[in-house]
Amino acid sequence: MDHFGLLSIIPPIMAILLAFITRQVLPALFISIWIGATIICDGNFILGFAKTIQDYIAGSIASPWNAGIITFDIALGGMIGIIAKSGGAKAIADWLSKKASTAKSGQFATWAMGLIIFFDDYSNTLLVGNTMRPLTDKLKISREKLSYICDSTAAPVASMSLISTWIAYELGLLRDCFSAIDVNMNAYSAFIQSIPYRFYSITALFFVLAVCLSGRDYGPMLKAEVRARKTGKLVADGSTPLASRELTDMKIKENIPLRWYNALIPVFTVVVMVIVGLYINGYSSIMNGEDQELIKAISAHPYSFLSVRDIIGNSNAAVAMMWAAFTGTIVAMLLVISQKILTFSEAMEAWVDGAKSLVMALMVLVAAWGIGKMCKDLGTAHFLVSILQGNVSAKIIPLVVFILGCIIAFSTGTSWGTTAILMPIAVPLAYQLSGGEVGSLLFATIGAVFTGAVFGDNCSPISDTTIMSSMACASDHIDHVKTQMPYAITVAIIATIVGYVPAAFGVNPIISILVAIILAFTVVRVFGKKVDDVVKNE
C-alpha cells in the first residue's frame, strides 16, 4: 500500500521531531501513530484513535515475536534485579575493575564483550549493557557512552555473523531475489561475498574501537564524558534514564558476601541457553517441515548432516531467548537462596523490582513497533524507494541503495523492514543494469542494503534496538540518540566516500575497508579531544 504518497512520511518525521523537541519519546510515538492512523482512516481522527489502540498498540503486543521479546525483557530484568540485590553485580564490577581500572580499558572491555555475544543483537545489547553498567559507572563512564558502545556493536556484529538470528532472514531474502531474477546462485555464498561490502557495519566497529582506545571524543559525547568524569553525574541533569531507579539504585542487602560468580553464572547461563535454545528450536522447526527446501535436500541426500548454520538459521530467536531468561532467573535464585544471601521472598521481591524497572522502556518499545507497523500500512518505505527507482545508473546503485536504506531505516526504525522493502528492488535493478552479471556490483548492492539498514538501527530514536540500548544501559533515550548520531553519521560518510563510491568502479573492497579503518582512527584523532585533558583544563 503506497498510495498515500507524501503523506506517508509525515508520521515518522513527526515522531522524530517531537521526540527531540519534547524529550518525551512515548508521547511523541503515540501522537505520530495517531496521526498516521488518522491518515489511513481518511482524516477521521476518532477512528484513527481507535485504530491506534487496537491495531498498532494492542496489535504489536499480540504479535508472537514481539510478545516473546517482551517476555524475555521482563524475565531478564528480573534476573538482573536478583543479581543486583544479592551484590553479584557489584562483585563482578569490583572484579572487572582490577582488570579494567581506567575509562579506556573499561570501554575496551565493553567493546570486546559486544563482539563476543555475536549471535543476536537483542541478547547482545541487554546482556552487555546490564553486565558492564556497574563497572562503567564505577569508572565514571557516562551512560551515553555505554549505550553507544552497546548499540554500535550489537547490530553490526549480528548482521554479519555466520551463525546468528539474522542469517535465516537474510538468506531468505536473497533466495527469493535470485529466484525472481532466475539466477541459480547459492544464497549463503552471496551472503559471504557481500560481507566485504558491509562498509558501514565494519567501519562502525573499528570507529568504536578508536574511540575506546584513544580516550577521545567530540560533539555531544565529549560533553557527556566530561560531565561524568568531572562531576560523577552519569546522566545529565533533567534527564530520565530508560530504566527506573528500582534497578539502577537498588540497595544491596547489608552484611552479605559479594561474590562475582553470583552474577557471572546466571549471565553465562543465559548466553549458553540462547545458543542451545536456538539449536533445539531450529532443529524442531526443520524436522516439522517448516523449511521445505531443506527437507527436500535432506530427502535427496539422506546421509547428509544438518549444518549448525541451517539449524540456527531456522530457529525462532524470541523463543530461545525466553527459555534462556527464565533459566537464568532460576539459576540466579538457586544461587542466592542456597548461599542464604537472600530468602525466597527477598529474591522474588528483587525479581519483581527488576522486572518493574523496564515497564517504561517496554511501553516505548511497543510504541516503536506500532509506528513501524503503521509506516508499513502507509507505504512509507515504498514511497521513498519510488522517488529514485528508475532514475539511477548502474555505477551509483550501491551508493544510492545505501543512502536510501539509511533514510528508510532511520524514518521507520526497522532494519529488517528496510531490507524487506529494498532487497527485492535493489537486486533485480543491479542485475539488469550490470548486463545480467553476477559480480562485484551485485554483491556491493546486497551489502549496501543490509548495512544501510543497520545505520538506521543504530541511531533512529524509534528503532527497537536503539531503545533497548538505552534501556539496558539506563540512559536517557534522547541523550543516547543525540550523542551517538554524530558518530554514526561520521561512519556513514566514511563508508560512502571510501566504500560505495570506489566500489562502483570495481575497487577491491578490502582496500576500501583498510582505508576506512585508517580514516576512522584519523578522524577520532584529529577531531576528538582527550576527555581527561579537557577535565584538567576546565
Instruction: Dump the DSSP string for 262-274.
Output: HHHHHHHHHHHHH
This prediction's pTM: 0.73
Q: Is 233 exposed, middle or buried (0-12, 13-18, 19+ CB in 10 A)?
A: middle
121 domain residue, yes or no: no
Is 450:131 a contact under the CB 8 Å cutoff? no
User: Quick one: pLDDT at residue 313?
Assistant: 65
267 domain residue, yes or no: yes
Is 487:205 a contact under the CB 8 Å cutoff? no
Is 321:69 a contact under the CB 8 Å cutoff? yes
Which three cell numbers, joined as nine digits, stand for 164?
546468528
306 domain residue, yes or no: yes
Residues in contact with 83: Cβ distance below 8 Å, sequence separation at least 6, in sequence order: 89, 262, 263, 266, 267, 332
* Mean pLDDT value of segment 501-521: 92
316 domain residue, yes or no: yes
269 domain residue, yes or no: yes
Quote the distance between the C-alpha of residue 361 and its chain's center. Answer: 15
Instruction: Give the three-state DSSP class for 14.
Output: helix
- Residue carrying C-alpha cell 541487554: 126
Question: How far apart are alpha carbons 121 and 354 in whole angstroms?
Answer: 21
Handedness of CA 105, 107, 108, 112 (dihedral sign): positive
Domain ranges, residue 290: 64-99+244-357
**Percent of the chain, pLDDT > 90?**
32
Q: Does the pLDDT value for residue 199 go beyond 60?
A: yes
Which three cell numbers, joined as nine digits, stand for 112?
570486546
* Mean pLDDT value of segment 177-191: 78
155 domain residue, yes or no: no
Question: How far apart are alpha carbons 147 and 242 in whole angstroms?
Answer: 11
Q: Is 321 exposed, middle or buried (0-12, 13-18, 19+ CB in 10 A)?
A: buried
User: Quick one: pLDDT at residue 448?
Assistant: 93
Question: How far apart are alpha carbons 419 and 408 in whole angstroms?
Answer: 9
Residues in contact with 146: Cβ distance below 8 Å, sequence separation at least 6, in sequence order: 110, 129, 132, 133, 136, 473, 475
Is 450:409 a contact under the CB 8 Å cutoff? no
Lowest mean per-residue pLDDT among 130-134, 161-165, 340-344: 161-165
User: Quick one: pLDDT at residue 54?
Assistant: 92
Which residues in 399-423 are b (16+ Cβ under 10 Å) and which e? bbbbbbbbbbbbbbbbbbbbbbbbb
Distances (CA, A) of 133 to 34, 96, 107, 383: 36, 11, 11, 41
- How many domains would you assign to the chain? 1
Query: pLDDT (tens digit, 9 = 90+) per residue, 276-320?
Result: 888 888 888 777 765 556 556 555 555 445 667 667 667 777 788
Lowest mean per-residue pLDDT among 154-163, 384-393, 422-431, 527-536: 384-393
92 domain residue, yes or no: yes
17 domain residue, yes or no: no
Question: How far apart are alpha carbons 519 and 525 in whole angstroms?
Answer: 10
Is 26:360 a contact under the CB 8 Å cutoff? yes
Which three cell numbers, joined as nine digits, stand for 130?
546490564
Which three cell numbers, joined as nine digits, stand for 339?
548461599
